[in-house]
Structure 1
């Protein structure tokens, strides 16, 4: 699908997020403590380097414009999911969770991240693109 130039970089970044989501789910399902721990570390690193900056760009640009246009539900859902993903990534970096808890958290992170990317591509970016086309 053709994206507005202002959304293209953000949309491209979603590919890496989907790969991370899949890896998180696979590690969680593996039952291998080393895989789970390694992926938890990878989530922390990738979150700080890629996902959180991506969220900040969305929050300071797209979401502000959508809020002004009255797209409150889209904005609220996006912010809620960003907050939950931040909390999960933070939990990996600050706590020594039990193996089963860490695996469950990885599974939740992977599921939520994949769902969030699909939501952004199918709904949030479509609304933003309509707004940009009207401007």
Structure 2
């Protein structure tokens, strides 16, 4: 189970710029920009891409098909939650899992998925 087409990673700086621009125009994308910023801050060995406003994340190296991914669904995605102010994060692939929570929980929920599915931990946060 998983996607059968090649994964084409994008630079995290480009993904961050895209989501910052989306969030500036549509605040409903703020949590998406926050998730990407958390990846940049963590320097975790993750690869990312986007598809129609969704964030798609895999671990390194670039996976061969079929591959699994953690997907953070954007507010206007075809797969988006129906509850305003909530986010959907899912693991697509073997052992798939879906969770929907308030957007305030997007970053910790994303890292729960990434840690559970890929074994990648976020960097410790300095206070």
> What TM-score does the superposition give when structure 1 sets the normalisation length?
0.29
| Larger strand fraction of residues | 2
Higher relative contact order (CA 8 A, sep 6+): 1
> What TM-score does the superposition give when structure 2 sets the normalisation length?
0.30
**Quick check: which has more Rg, 1 or 2?**
1
